[in-house]
């Protein structure tokens, strides 16, 4: 049986799974291969989506039916999804978040009209912001509360007083918290 021969319910179930797989793949890759106005639905992309669908097949309603989707038809379905997502409009919340992020980074740029490309730019800007925050933490002095907390926790964990320099940074305090948590067996502390 072919995809086109399925009833409407099965088609809807399959398309929902396909869309979820499509979006998950884009998010996992941080939209890196998305270019403004250029399709990324290649034969290799189609193959990757098909492989992901096969892994999740057993949990889906459409998996109960034995059918095939020819490669060209699968590519057409993915191209349609790509096109519909590219013309999707950003929500007010997304626009505000994007513009605030760009402003925080000291950049001047407009929000791309291509939704998928906007998601890529957003992912790139978030990565830039994370680097900026980490760099600031390395030079930003630790707060009194952070110093009080780490000295108390250090004493409770190791049974000894913690000597800190007066110009201890937030990054250095964070490292001390990591040591305490690793010693206490809590694993990585975030």
CB atoms within 10 A of CB 74: 20
The residue to which tokens 């040591």 are assigned: 179
Residues 10 and 63 in one domain: yes
Last residue in a domain, options 138, 154, 169: 138
| 137/110 Cα distance (integer angstroms) | 29
Structure tokens at 110: 């407009």
Residues 15 and 81 in one domain: yes
Q: Print the domain residue range for 176.
A: 144-184
**The pTM is what?**
0.74
Tens-of-pLDDT digits for all 190 residues of the chain?
888 888 898 899 899 999 999 999 999 999 999 999 999 999 999 999 999 888 877 677 788 888 889 999 999 999 999 999 999 999 999 999 999 999 999 999 999 999 999 999 999 999 999 999 988 888 899 999 999 999 999 999 999 999 999 899 998 999 999 999 888 766 544 4
Last residue in a domain, options 86, 112, 130: 86
Domain count, the chain: 3
User: Any bridge partners for residue 169, and if so which?
Assistant: 141
Residues 68 and 37 in one domain: yes
| 186/64 Cα distance (integer angstroms) | 43
| 120/34 Cα distance (integer angstroms) | 7
Query: Is residue 189 one of the residues assigned to a domain?
Result: no
Query: Is residue 20 one of the residues assigned to a domain?
Result: yes
Residues 131 and 56 in one domain: no
């Amino acid at each position: 049986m072919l995809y086109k021969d399925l009833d409407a319910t099965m088609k809807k179930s399959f398309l929902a799974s396909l869309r979820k797989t499509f979006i998950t793949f884009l998010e996992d890759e941080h939209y890196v291969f998305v270019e403004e106005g250029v399709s990324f639905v290649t034969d290799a992309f189609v193959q990757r989506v098909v492989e992901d669908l096969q892994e999740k097949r057993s949990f889906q309603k459409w998996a109960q039916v034995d059918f095939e989707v020819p490669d060209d038809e699968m590519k057409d379905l993915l191209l349609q999804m790509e096109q519909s997502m590219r013309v999707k409009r950003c929500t007010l919340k997304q626009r505000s978040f994007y513009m605030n992020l760009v402003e925080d980074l000291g950049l001047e740029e407009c929000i791309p009209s291509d939704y998928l490309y906007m998601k890529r730019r957003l992912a790139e800007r978030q990565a830039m912001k994370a680097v900026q925050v980490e760099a600031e933490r390395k030079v930003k002095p630790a707060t009194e509360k952070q110093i009080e907390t780490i000295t108390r926790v250090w004493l409770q964990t190791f049974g000894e007083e913690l000597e800190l320099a007066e110009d201890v940074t937030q990054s250095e305090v964070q490292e001390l918290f990591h040591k305490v948590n690793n010693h206490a067996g809590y694993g990585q502390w975030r």
